[in-house]
Amino acid sequence: MIDGAEHLDSAPLTLNAPYPTTRSGFFKVSFFVKAQPGTDFGAFFDHWLSVHAANVRRVMAQVGGFRYVISHSLVPAHEPWAGLAELYFQDASGWNAYRKTIRPDGMERWVANDGVLVLRAQTEMVGIP
């Protein structure tokens, strides 16, 4: 959704060919999203990719977030989580600003908040040749 390339310095590995590159030292928040029982996953994923993604993108731009990634389960009725959302910031202050700015957009209709896992992390990416 937002790839963040303009905020992530990249340099080729010196031991191998230029691919892959590493981009490290940023703050990431991952949401493992659990769906409510009886969820219509088509409607849920449509809302997530259109209404919710637009809301997140707008807020990320306002607060300096630079990457937003959505992963939907291929078999959500048989997985513990329907999907994964990842938000990337330069540091924790971006996440704090995001939390103060984001507003509900209807995701609560499908999301089982008591089953959502949130991981806040300092991220280091490691290139593997």
What residue segments make up the domains of the chain, in order of their start? 24-124
> pLDDT 10s digit of each residue in the chain, 129 long?
566 666 656 555 555 555 455 567 899 999 999 999 999 999 999 999 999 999 999 999 999 999 999 999 999 999 999 999 999 999 999 999 999 999 999 999 999 999 999 999 998 877 666
Measured between alpha carbons, how far is 103 from 4 in angstroms, rounded to an integer? 23
> What residue ranges in the chain does DSSP mark as E strands?
11-12, 21-22, 24-33, 67-72, 83-89, 117-124
* DSSP tag of 115: G
In 3D space, the residue among 45, 67, 41, 46 whose CA is nearest the CA of residue 56 turns out to be 67
In 3D space, the residue among 35, 117, 115, 45 whose CA is nearest the CA of residue 77 turns out to be 35
User: What pLDDT sits at residue 11?
Assistant: 58
Measured between alpha carbons, how far is 112 from 19 in angstroms, rounded to an integer? 40
- Please determine, looking at this structure, whether the domain spanning 24-124 carries the CATH number 3.30.70.20: no
- Reported as type and span, the H/E element at residue 103 is none
User: What pLDDT sits at residue 123?
Assistant: 85
